[in-house]
Structure formats: structure tokens, C-alpha cells
Amino acid sequence: MKNHTDYPLPFKGKKEYKTNREEIKTNFLNYLLFYPRIIKIVYGSNRMTKKNLYNRYNWVASSLFTIRAMEKAGLDFHVEGLDNIGKFDGPAVFVGNHMSTLETVALPTFIQPIKSVVYVIKEELTNYPLFGPVAKARHPILVGRANPREDLQIVLNEGSARLQDGRSVIIFPQRTRSKYLDAKNFNSLGVKLAKRNDVYVVPLALLTDAWQNGKIVKEFGKLDRTKKVHFAFGEPFKVETNGTEENQRVIDFIKSKLIEWGREEYVL
């Protein structure tokens, strides 16, 4: 993989992005080549990590290459609200639902060139062969699943440190990947983190079930080319109350987009 010294910026200045089938062609061979291409991208990123070259520019490049691999394999993207990412100064907390591996690899392309960003991820991901060192290289906030109270403090403390350092935080409050939006399990941690640091919350709705979870390894599921990939960045806002109303605002935004995208059955 080429060593990038600046951001690839194919979406600069745009409010939305849609896959252009006039420019990006697909066929069955490209579908079959999807995972070999993904493995090549991860392998190249891993090599850069070992050389201390996996910086923010190469992170965005690998993310963009992955999106292009998905598009060549037959997935169509529609990303809305890109202008909402840069409507304000300083970092933010991006709070969204979590369906698949797809958003984990794709979001840096859209957010990082505008707002330096880190993920809240499961610590076990950093132990994966090849991918683990790559994930760890981008300064994530690591949590487990055994002790939710301990994870809460880790996110609040380390998240605050990242925000004060000027880095935004992506958090998926449902903790595990699911196509369903379950309001009862959509905790307010992201909103609390934003309130503690007086930064904006950016709601993030996504529909990424086109990359299915694998039966043995979640990250290696099938692609469903009949389904479109959707991202929507909502209007940024500050947390003015104890956070309950604002967390519901995020849930309502995600719910409205899932219904708009024809997935009302995913709303519990």
C-alpha cells in the first residue's frame, strides 16, 4: 500500500455521497475478489504499523480502499449529512447504532479528514492477527465486556483525555453489533461524555447489513449486493440537560432514518 502524506479527499465539500455506477463498475469477479482485496489492505496496513507509518493519512487511505473494494464488489453507498461533521469548531462525540464490520472500516474516510477521531472498541479486537496491531495504532479507547461499570469509567476518563487533546470519539452505545435498534440497551454513555467535556454530539444513523456478520468470525461475513449501504450524520447539538432528552434525540434520529430506509422492522 502506498505511503500517503496527505488525506485522499474524494468527498471534500460535499453534503452527500452516492456510488456512481458510471465510474465504478462491478462484476462477479470483483465480488469474488472482495476478501482477497481486504486481506491485502489489512496486510499492507499491518506492515505500515510495524514501520510506524500507519498515521492518520494512511488510515484514511486504507478506509477508502476498503470502500472502493466494497463498491467494486457490488455495494452501493449513500452517505448523507457530511456537512454536519464540520459545522462547529473542536472535537465531538459521534453516537450511533452498530450493525457490522462495515462502519468500523468505512467511517474514517468521512470523519477523519475533517475531525481527528478515535473509536471506542473491544479490547479483544487488538489481539486479532494482522488487524489487531492496525486497530491499536489509531489510539482507540479499549473496553471489555466483563465489567460495564469499569468500562464506563474508562470511556469517561480516556474519552475526556482524547477530547481535550482535540480528538473526536466514535461510540456505539449498544456495545455489540446488531441490525436491531433497541432503545432499552442504547445507553447514554456518549451523551454523558459529551456533556462532561462540553462538546457537540453528532447523531449517526447507519444501515450496513449488506456486510453480514460471519457465523464463525463476525468480521468475515457475506456481502449482500441487493442491499444499499446508508450513513446519515445528524445535526450536531450540545447537551443542555442531564442527558436523557439528548440520548432520546439520538435514538429518535436513528429510528427515523431506519424507517426512511425501509427497515422499520429493525426498530424494537
Name the grid cell of 174. Answer: 449498544
- The Cβ-side half-sphere exposure at 252, using a 13 Å CA radius, reads 7
Strand partners, 77: 229
- Alpha-carbon distance 116 to 114, whole Å? 7
Q: What is the pLDDT along the chain (268 residues), one digit of tens a residue?
A: 788 889 988 887 889 999 999 999 899 999 999 999 999 999 999 999 999 999 999 999 999 999 999 999 999 999 999 999 999 999 999 999 999 999 999 999 999 999 999 998 887 777 777 677 788 888 899 887 667 788 889 999 999 999 999 999 999 998 788 899 999 999 999 999 999 999 999 999 999 999 987 665 666 778 999 999 999 999 999 999 998 999 999 999 999 999 999 999 999 8
Domains of the chain, with CATH numbers? 75-266 (3.40.1130.10)
Closest among 106, 115, 118 to 79, alpha carbons compared:
106
- Give all strands of the β-sheet with 141-143 in edge-to-edge order: 17-18, 77-80, 229-233, 200-207, 92-96, 168-171, 117-122, 141-143
